[in-house]
Chains A and B, each alone.
Chain A
Amino acid sequence: MASTSDNSAVGMPQLDFSTFPNQIFWLVVFCVVLFAIVKFFIIPRMEDIFANRRKIIDGNIAKAEEIRLRVNEIEKQIEEELQKAKSQCDEIMSTSGNNIKEQMALALEDSKIATTQLISEAEGRLKELRDGSEAAIEKISEELASEIISKISRGK
């Protein structure tokens, strides 16, 4: 067995039973102090850090969820708006098509009226012209005849 006064261990110091009370005494003191530190300092601190982190992470997750919901809403709105715009567009297209047809019909009508009017006018003018020319021819021929007569009578 080792004796503690020697500088060199002869046997195993671990089996020197005379040191056991000392070792166990200090171990118990050490364990109690360490347990107190763990219980009253380390665990509350770690749990606090963990709870803080949990809280912030949960808050962030909640915020992300909220933002996601808002994004969904906005997407839905955009969709709605798009739908509305599309239907409006369709409506406008169909009404404008109708309008154009109507206007075209109207314009056709107008032009028909105008052409008939023009034609009748032209016909009237033509008639007038014809009448006028006939009268003029008559007049001219009358004048011509009277002139011829006077010439003839003068020449004689």
Chain B
Amino acid sequence: MEKQSAFNIHPMDQFIIDPILTGDSLEWYSFTNQALWMLISLVSISFVFIYGSRKHQLVPGRLQSIAELLYFFIRDMIIDIAGQEGLRYFPYIFTLFILILFGNVLGLLPYSFTYTSHIAVTGFLALSVFIAVTIIGFVKNGLGFLSLFWISSAPLALRPILLIIEVISYFVRPVSHSIRLAGNMMAGHAVIKVFAGFAGALGLGAIAPIFAITAVYGLEMLVVVIQAYVFTILTCVYLNDALHPGH
């Protein structure tokens, strides 16, 4: 399949996994640009959360207040949605949140790589959330977890139909959960890249697409944070379903 067009735009190039140490061959252990950006986000997380709050200040400085804000934001969110017993899973959810948040935000840097734009990554995360939540549900409630699908507040005649719908929507969860994040990241970056391609092709008229890039970039700043938030809050909602399946 070949593409010939006046604009030489390759919006999907930025998502290519590229082995950066071992030449061209991509084995399962090769260090890729994706792994590099995971490493960079790990360093940034350590910088904000460990270096930033190394002094244990009573009145937080700039970095420490960022760390505290994120920490207590997720904490309060879990308590709000999944209740006090959800706090047991706080380390997992917090790990998930900062992993996605830093991946998204660092992905906005020019020439960077967004590891959350890959279906493999988000799919793995969503699938692990799905499996973990299902296991927690069965361990905590036994077979009572199945009452999640049998809606006792609905009229009896409707319940079998609702059962089918509920089961389908339960198994679609990891799909929508992962594709939402990856799709948003991919779409935003591809749009910026497309506008950048216009700017490259238009010469002096490039001022218009550059304004458009600025605007889209501002929107993307919002979107990356909201998507990290949404991924986390949906994890909390699923966890709440597992902990309290009755309602």
A touches B (Cβ under 8 A): yes
- Judge whether A46 is part of the interface by a CB distance below 8 angstroms: yes
Contact indicator B71/A46 (Cβ below 8 Å): yes
In the bound complex, what is the Cα–Cα distance between A4 and B67 (angstroms)? Answer: 38
- Judge whether A12 is part of the interface by a CB distance below 8 angstroms: yes
In the bound complex, what is the Cα–Cα distance between A23 and B178 (angstroms)? Answer: 15
Contact indicator B45/A13 (Cβ below 8 Å): no
Shortest distance in angstroms between A149's beta carbon and chain B's nearest beta carbon? 134
Shortest distance in angstroms between B130's beta carbon and chain A's nearest beta carbon? 15
Contact indicator A35/B26 (Cβ below 8 Å): no
In the bound complex, what is the Cα–Cα distance between A50 and B68 (angstroms)? Answer: 9
Contact indicator A38/B98 (Cβ below 8 Å): yes
In the bound complex, what is the Cα–Cα distance between A65 and B92 (angstroms)? Answer: 40
Q: Which residues of A contact B30 (CB under 8 A)?
A: 22
Contacting residues of chain A (4-35) with chain B, CB-CB under 8 angstroms:
4-5, 7-16, 18-31, 33-35
Question: Which range contains the number of B residues in contact with the other chain?
Answer: 35 or more
Shortest distance in angstroms between B247's beta carbon and chain A's nearest beta carbon? 30
Q: Which residues of B contact A43 (CB under 8 A)?
A: 90-91, 94
- Judge whether A56 is part of the interface by a CB distance below 8 angstroms: yes
Q: Which of B29, B38, B98 lies in contact with A27, CB distance below 8 A?
A: B38
Shortest distance in angstroms between B84's beta carbon and chain A's nearest beta carbon? 16
Q: Which of B16, B45, B71, B121 lies in contact with A34, CB distance below 8 A?
A: B45
Q: Which residues of B contact A31 (CB under 8 A)?
A: 95, 99
Per the CB 8 Å criterion, the residue count for chain A at the interface is 44
Contact indicator A26/B56 (Cβ below 8 Å): no
Shortest distance in angstroms between B227's beta carbon and chain A's nearest beta carbon? 16
Contacting residues of chain B (10-48) with chain A, CB-CB under 8 angstroms:
10, 12-13, 15-19, 24, 26-30, 32, 34-35, 38-39, 42, 45-46
Supposing A49-B56, A49-B68, A56-B58 touch, asked if A24 and B120 sit within 8 A by C-beta, the answer is yes
In the bound complex, what is the Cα–Cα distance between A25 and B12 (angstroms)? Answer: 23
* Closest B residue by C-beta to A19: B17
Q: Which residues of B contact A13 (CB under 8 A)?
A: 12, 15-17, 118
- Judge whether A48 is part of the interface by a CB distance below 8 angstroms: yes
Supposing A14-B118, A24-B120, A56-B58 touch, asked if A35 and B15 sit within 8 A by C-beta, the answer is no
Q: Which of B16, B68, B98, B99 lies in contact with A2, CB distance below 8 A?
A: B16
29 interchain pairs (CB within 8 A)? A2-B16, A4-B17, A4-B18, A9-B15, A13-B12, A13-B15, A14-B117, A15-B119, A16-B17, A19-B17, A19-B26, A21-B28, A23-B121, A25-B29, A26-B32, A27-B115, A27-B120, A28-B124, A31-B99, A35-B91, A37-B45, A37-B50, A38-B91, A38-B94, A43-B91, A45-B50, A46-B68, A46-B71, A49-B68
Given A11-B12, A53-B58, 6 more contacts at CB 8 Å?
A: A13-B17, A20-B120, A22-B27, A30-B39, A30-B99, A52-B56
A-B residue pairs, 9 tightest by C-beta: A21-B28, A26-B35, A13-B15, A23-B120, A30-B38, A9-B12, A19-B17, A13-B16, A42-B49
